[in-house]
Every structure is written in C-alpha cells, then in structure tokens.
Structure 1
Amino acid sequence: MQLSKEMVLEQANNATKNTLMETLDIKMIDFGDDFLIARMPVTPKVHQPDGVLHGGATAALAETVGSFASHIFIDTENMFVRGLEITANHLKSVRSGFVYAKATFLHKGRTTQLIDIKITDDDDNLISVCKLTTISLPKNK
C-alpha cells in the first residue's frame, strides 16, 4: 500500500520526537518524486552570538533533509541510511523568518546516494549550498 504525501510527511515529522530535529524545530513540508523540502525557523536558539543563523544549524538542517530523502526513497524494510559526508557553503546571512532546505538527488545508487541541498530564505534568496553523501546498509534481522 502506497502512503499518501500527508502520511509520509506526518511519519517523518513524528520520527523527530526527542531528537536534534525537534530541538531545532525542523519540519518536513513537501516532497515529490525526486525532492524533499524541510523548513526551520530562524530564532535566537539557532543564532550565532552576533544574531545570525549559525552554520552548524544550517548543516544540521541539510543533513536532516538529505538523510530523510534517502530514507523515503529506499527500501526501509531491509535497509537503513547513514550520512557519510556533508559539505556546506554559506553564502548569505539570515536573522529571522524561516529557512527552507530542498534536497534533490544527484546520484541515487543502491548503496550510495549523493544529494544536493539548497537552503533558501522566505524571499527565496540562496543562503547555503550543501552536498550530502549517504549510504544504505542492510538491516541485520
């Protein structure tokens, strides 16, 4: 049985209880055949001391949406996903509002996946460009 978009997003968001994702208020908000979008509020809890979005919070958002994208698009009955490497290039500062992370696959292999993640603000300005490599490994039964 194929789950509806709303059910997939609800399951993804419910999986974040008592995790870093809940602490940062990261929510999955949309997905399609080849993308997943998450958002995170930019508040003092994710700021650097000078009042702008912390690069580490941005990287956490990117790794979250990229890993969830891999998770959504693999056989989770038999496989699990782990991040191998992440890079982040921060291009613009943000003080408030939301940032949105859109994950799209550059490579969707059976074992490794390469995901491009673009972080934008409420006005669709490009804030950061990230790349995430994940690996899908068999579950031990």
Structure 2
Amino acid sequence: MTEIPGLDGMLGVEHIEAGPDKVVARFEIGPQHLQPFGIPHGGVYCAVHESTASVAGHIWLQTVGKGVVVGTNNSTDFLRQAAPGDVITVTATPIHRGRSQQLWHVDSTDQDGRLVAQGQVRLANLDRDVPAEVLAQFADAYKKL
C-alpha cells in the first residue's frame, strides 16, 4: 500500500512524475496483483492505466479551467507476462485534449524497459467542481512531486 488514496494505494502504486503533459507511476508485482493461475491480473494494468491517465487529465484540465475527468473507455492490450517482483512503470501521455474529452496513450514497461502492456484511455471533461475532501486527498498525495 502507498499514501495514494483509493485503489492505487491498495495496489501499491507510487507516482514519480505528475504534470499536465505526462504522469509516470510505478508498482511492484506482488501476490495482491495475481490472478488464480499465479500471473498478474490484466485488470491491474487496466486500473492503473485508467487512474494514471485520469491524474494526468485532471492536472491538465485544471490548467485550462476547472472540472473533473471521468473515464469513458479503457482499451488495454497485454503484450508480455510480468512476474512477481517485477517493477512496472506506467507512463501516460496525451494524444488529444479537447473541450469535452481527452484521449491518453499509456505504456507499462518492466524494469528492463520491455513493453508489458499498452493502451488508450478516453476521458470526459465534466464541468463540475471536485469535492473539497477529494481535492484535499489528491493534493496531499501529489504534493511531493
């Protein structure tokens, strides 16, 4: 577990870079990431891809106004099997950022730089305020970056 609130914290994700044009996160494959057959569950990659893109999309949206982003589509391809102990680095970069939606490219690589999974996450930009308590948790989790 990490200090990040929500599912990312439960998955042990730590953010090592967070800005409007790129977010980089990292986690180590452990027993909590495995499916019943002893290999990493694909849902872990999908979840971390969506949250990494969402963090990036939220940071960018705050630079152009205000609002909140929500995932509307997540397409993740699994390319190489990782193993317990592997350190996965997840990088989200923008493909398109518009008035009502964003599209982000996300790569997951292992400690040797090999592509393990890649995907795209589409986000909707909603014109609403982020609840103060959520914003406070978000700010606390990312203030070190």
Corresponding residue pairs, total: 127
Which has the larger share of strand?
Answer: 1
Change (3 A) 1:79 1:33: closer
Contact 1:87 1:132 in 2 (8 A): yes
Tell whether 2:41 aligns with 1:41: no
Deviates further, 40-49 or 85-94: 40-49
Q: Deviations over 1:64-83 (max 9, x none)?
A: 10000001111277301100
Gaps of 5+ in 2: 131-145
Measure the CA separation in 2 of the matches of 1:33 and 1:64.
14
Which has the larger share of helix?
Answer: 2
Q: TM-score, normalised by structure 2?
A: 0.80
Q: Which amino acid aligns with 2:16?
A: I
Q: Which amino acid aligns with 1:84?
A: T
Tell whether 2:106 aligns with 1:117: yes
Measure the CA separation in 1 of the matches of 2:20 and 2:55.
14
Q: Which amino acid aligns with 2:60?
A: F
Contact 1:40 1:61 in 2 (8 A): no
Q: What residue number does 2:135 align with? A: none
Q: Residue 37 of structure 2 is aligned with which of 50, 57, 64?
A: 50
Tell me by how many angstroms 1:138 deviates. 0.8
Tell me by how many angstroms 1:97 deviates. 2.1
Q: CA RMSD in A?
A: 2.0
Tell me by how many angstroms 1:50 deviates. 2.3
Q: Residue 80 of structure 1 is aligned with which of 57, 68, 73?
A: 68
Q: Deviations over 1:72-107 (max 9, x none)?
A: 111277301100000010000011221111000000
Tell me by how many angstroms 1:128 deviates. 0.5
Within-5 A mapping of 1:58-73: 58-73=45-60
- Identity, % of aligned pairs? 28
Q: What residue number does 1:97 align with? A: 86
Contact 2:108 2:115 in 1 (8 A): yes
3-state SS of paired residue (2:61): coil
3-state SS of paired residue (1:73): helix
Q: What residue number does 2:140 align with? A: none
Measure the CA separation in 1 of the matches of 2:16 and 2:74.
22
